[in-house]
Amino acid sequence: MNYLDEARIAFVHLRERKRQTILTALGVAVGSAMLVTTISVARGSSSNVIAKVIDTVPHVIISAERVVPLVPENLVRQQGRVAMVTKNINLDEQEVIKNYAEVVETIRPVEELRSISPFVLSKLLVRNKTRFAPCVARGVVPYLEAGIAGLKKNLIDKNSLEELAYTPNGILVGDLLAKKLNAGCRDRIVLVTKKSEEFPVTIVGRFSSGFNAKDEREAYVNLSLAQKMEGLASNSVTGIGLRTAHVDRAAATAAEVQELSGYKSESWDETNRNVIEFYNRNAVITLVLVGFVFIVAGLGVSSVMTTVILQKVKDIAILRSMGMQAASITRIFMFEGFMIGVLGVVIGSPMGHVICHFVDSIRFEASTAGVLKSDKINIIEQPEAHLIVIVFGILIAMLSSWRPAKKAARYLPVRILRGEVGV
């Protein structure tokens, strides 16, 4: 007996129990559809986060932490001796990049760099009449910052970046921060520093990056104002943002910049590792949980195959008495599991595509409760997802039928004919 004959016998067995076969295949189909949808949603969510990160932060950030120590300024050499002159040191003094223009010139030859923007970060309280909110103000040179992190296209009020450039006490605020303060364009608010100094500023515009935490806590001011609030010299900044030609080479560019500048440099994926890992971890957990739907479907296949075998024990006895090998019996019932799996994924894969299309078309009011602000569930459906599900679904069905098939092959014809096995 060849494989074709074994497959024909398996098909006849399944055809005799159409309802049972269809219900079992539907179990595999539901698992297939859910897994296709989950893979597409997980991939869409992760890709959306990465795209937002790339679009809203510098590709590389140079911090004020040195990796190559400088010669101490209080080191004095005199007549062959070395002395340390004690200076009045403020332990609360913020680490800064001094003479940042020199650092910029040092790294400018790096081929991958497209934009360079120095900045000063300042942690403040923002006050609008009786409303207060914490804020991180980023002091920038507006025309330089425009090419760094997609700020210009995230502006709600157009041309506000140019207005910031010629308004020394201007400020760009996130839209959620503006709502929290109940403030709008041209309103006057007050920035309060950690030394309780107050700096009145005028809102010249708002931005919406899509990151709720950023839109709720961040603002942009002119670099000179931020230096004044932090008590820094005009040639000092707390960091330098860089945009590269190829985002996938940001890590290599960061290493090159760090070697040239002597300051610690991190690429976008290193700086935002926690956010990216959080979404990737959630995607894996979701896939594992949905994968159990396939396990349940596999148990259904195993249950059906066990029932079929118990109902076909006399047929097994007759086939074995006619000289059919045990391996052929095993293959017949394995073919049945294979056919159920194929039927299941043939139904489930298109069903998954329809569900993905439906979910992608759903629109709802953008929520500010999560990390990202979005009005839809992001779906990225790729052929690889369907291929994975098809292979996995068929394997689950075949593996689920393997043990009942092996059990059927071990039945002795004599015991079956005596009525010691079966129902």
Residue 51 has pLDDT above 60, yes or no: yes
Give the pairing type, strands 97-98 and 75-78: unpaired
Q: Dihedral angle at the C-alpha atoms of 240, 243, 245, 249, nearest 10 degrees?
A: 70
Phi, psi of 91 (to 5 degrees): -65, -20
Residue whose C-alpha is closest to residue 21's, from 34, 11, 31, 35: 11
pLDDT category at 301 given cuts 50, 70, 90 is: confident
What's residue 118's pLDDT?
A: 92
Is residue 147 packed enough to be buried (19+ CB in 10 Å), middle (13-18) or exposed (0-12)?
A: middle
The mean per-residue pLDDT over the stretch 320-338 comes to 77
pLDDT digits (tens, 9 = 90+) for 1-43: 677 877 887 788 778 778 888 888 888 888 888 888 888 888 8
pLDDT digits (tens, 9 = 90+) for 85-110: 555 555 456 688 888 999 999 998 88
Average pLDDT, rounded, for the chain: 81
CB 38 within 8 A of CB 285: no
pLDDT digits (tens, 9 = 90+) for 241-282: 998 888 888 889 999 999 888 899 988 888 777 767 777 777
- Alpha helices, DSSP H only, in 196-249? 212-217, 223-230
Buried residues in 378-415 as b, exposed as e (16+ CB within 10 A): bbbbeeebbeebbebbbebbbebbbebbeebbebebee
Q: On the CB side of 308, how many CA atoms lie within 13 Å of its CA?
A: 29
Residue length, the chain?
A: 423
CA distance 407 to 386: 33
Rg (C-alpha) for the chain, rounded Å, is: 33
pLDDT digits (tens, 9 = 90+) for 121-139: 999 999 998 899 999 999 9
What's residue 85's pLDDT?
A: 54
Which residues does residue 266 pair with via DSSP β-bridges, in sequence order? Answer: 61
What is the token pair recorded at 6? 């074994």
CB 156 within 8 A of CB 208: yes
Is the pTM value of this prediction over 0.85? no
pLDDT digits (tens, 9 = 90+) for 171-223: 999 889 999 999 888 899 999 998 889 999 999 999 888 778 788 889 999 99
